[in-house]
Amino acid sequence: MKMKVAAALGATLLAGTILATGVQAQGISVVRYLSQETDPAVVAVQREWVADFIAANPGTDVILESAPAGVINQRIATYVQAGAPLDVVHSDPGTAARLAVEGLLAPLDDVVEALGGRDAFLPNRLLIVDDVVYAINQAAATPQLFYRKDMFEEAGIEPPTTWEEVRAAAEKLHSRDVIGIALAGGENRMTTIMASTMLWQNCHDFFDGDLNLTVDHPRTAEAAAHYADLLQFSAPDAAAWAFNEPPESFWSGRAAMVLHWHALDLMSRQNPALIENVGVAPVTKNLMQATQTGGRYIGVFANSTTLETGRDWIEFVFSPDNAAKLTGISPLLYPPATESALEELRSSDAATVQAYGDVLFDTVYPSAQYGYSEILHAGGLDTESCELRETGKVNPYISVLWNSNLYARAIQRIAYEGMDPAEAVAQAHEQLAEQVETARREMGNN
């Protein structure tokens, strides 16, 4: 069975699909765009795209359907399980990888060629399976360590570059009024992802190059213990924190540091006066420097009844002018996808680009060299040399790791229940192994 889900959502989603099909029967080619983007500023750009796309392509329509990151996978799975038509989807990279491997996405090679070909794209932007492009990464952001320059200067602390320095700074700056470092500690994907960066910095990975699970390892236990230790310098209620709370605590002035993808983008809207007091530290390390290559991948379903219009929509979204509108309001979360677009951004008059200054091009974008896409390059972290490499092997099981929350639960057990780190990660490994094996069987049956 493909991507099991609760059937309760099916009726609502199928009703929307029937509506779209009815419009198509009247001679309009409809594309349903299911996006995980709920930020009003980004949704406003999407609506502008829709109006421009319809004007440029008479006889078409685009229906925007948004769902939060924690919900969208369930909605996608409901469509798939019901066998209902789904057009363009904007998903996390783990889900995109699994959909591609299962044969549910249509090739996008023609779209990529229209946008300049594969060589025109920056690293980690194309999801390729068996030399076929199935999705394009629209949000290849890399988590940065944002810190308050004024607080660091007053305390006489240099920007941290190692685990020890991060912990020392968090401890020194932590007080009743300000938390040392804003970290999520909830049983959710945010905790899993941020804790993953520390696993990689400890020169280890969740899977090897043959897609075997490798969680039960001393380096995993050490990395999980480090993250759990830092949680004592986060908020008292960090055990319930997910995606929104860490950056919110930072832009509101209640945190000295935050590990996040686009904290400056949020601050530019919520508290722009504080931007001049924010610094971005180089990617931190223990045994090596590494951070995540994020992603919100856009693909079109193979069973779409308006396949070509869906491809046209994706090409339209990634065209330089339209992509620039998105990058302009959120340059950290939505960096340019091509080298030429990156160069054009240097002369942008967007308020965010002007406000961030050189930090955008001198620190944030160069950190992509330390970005690890565990989805696109399985086994790409060499645990012997402690270096990153491109393998081009897609890992469809990362979605299992993210959606299960088992690694986040291990972090919680260490931080809040006092469990031995080795025991906690061993339990997570055992439970993850069962779910990965189930996923292998499901994908093998499709």
Structure pTM? 0.91
Sequence letter at residue 73: N
Q: Which positions ≥6 away from 157 have C-beta within 8 Å? A: 168, 169, 172, 173
Identify the H or E element spanning 298.
strand 297-300
Q: How many CA atoms lie within 13 A of 324 on its CB side?
A: 16
Report the relative pairing of strands 88-91 and 29-35 from DSSP bridges. Answer: parallel
Reply yes or no on domain 144-292+376-445 having CATH 3.40.190.10.
yes
What pLDDT shows up at residue 16? 38
Contact (CB, 8 A) for 189 and 71: no
**With the C-alpha atoms ordered 63, 69, 75, 79, is the resulting torsion angle positive or negative?**
positive
Distances (CA, A) of 125 to 100, 130, 311, 392: 15, 16, 17, 12
Residue ranges covered by each domain of the chain:
7-140+294-369, 144-292+376-445
Residue from 355, 294, 281 nearest 93 by CA? 294
What pLDDT shows up at residue 19? 36
**Rounded-to-integer distance, Cα 210 and Cα 167, Å:** 34
Residue from 130, 277, 128, 213 nearest 406 by CA? 213
**281: which strand partners?**
145
Residue with tokens 């092997």: 393
Reply yes or no on domain 7-140+294-369 having CATH 3.40.190.10.
yes
**Rounded-to-integer distance, Cα 134 and Cα 323, Å:** 19
**Rounded-to-integer distance, Cα 93 and Cα 26, Å:** 35
Q: How many CA atoms lie within 13 A of 326 on its CB side?
A: 23
3-state helix, strand, coil in the chain (%, to 5): 50, 15, 35
pLDDT per position in the chain (446 positions), as tens?
444 433 333 333 333 333 334 345 468 999 999 999 888 999 999 999 999 999 999 999 999 999 887 788 888 888 888 877 789 999 999 999 999 999 999 999 999 999 999 999 999 999 999 999 999 999 999 999 999 999 999 999 999 999 999 999 999 999 999 999 999 999 999 999 999 999 999 999 999 999 999 999 999 999 999 999 999 999 999 999 999 999 999 999 999 999 999 999 999 999 999 999 999 998 999 999 999 998 899 999 999 999 999 999 999 999 988 999 999 999 999 999 988 888 888 888 999 999 898 899 999 999 999 999 999 999 999 999 999 999 999 999 999 999 899 999 999 999 999 999 999 999 999 999 999 999 999 988 65
Identify the H or E element spanning 136.
strand 132-137
Sequence letter at residue 92: D
Residue from 182, 227, 192 nearest 415 by CA? 227
**Rounded-to-integer distance, Cα 93 and Cα 398, Å:** 8
* 3-state SS, residue 64: strand
Identical fold, 7-140+294-369 and 144-292+376-445? yes
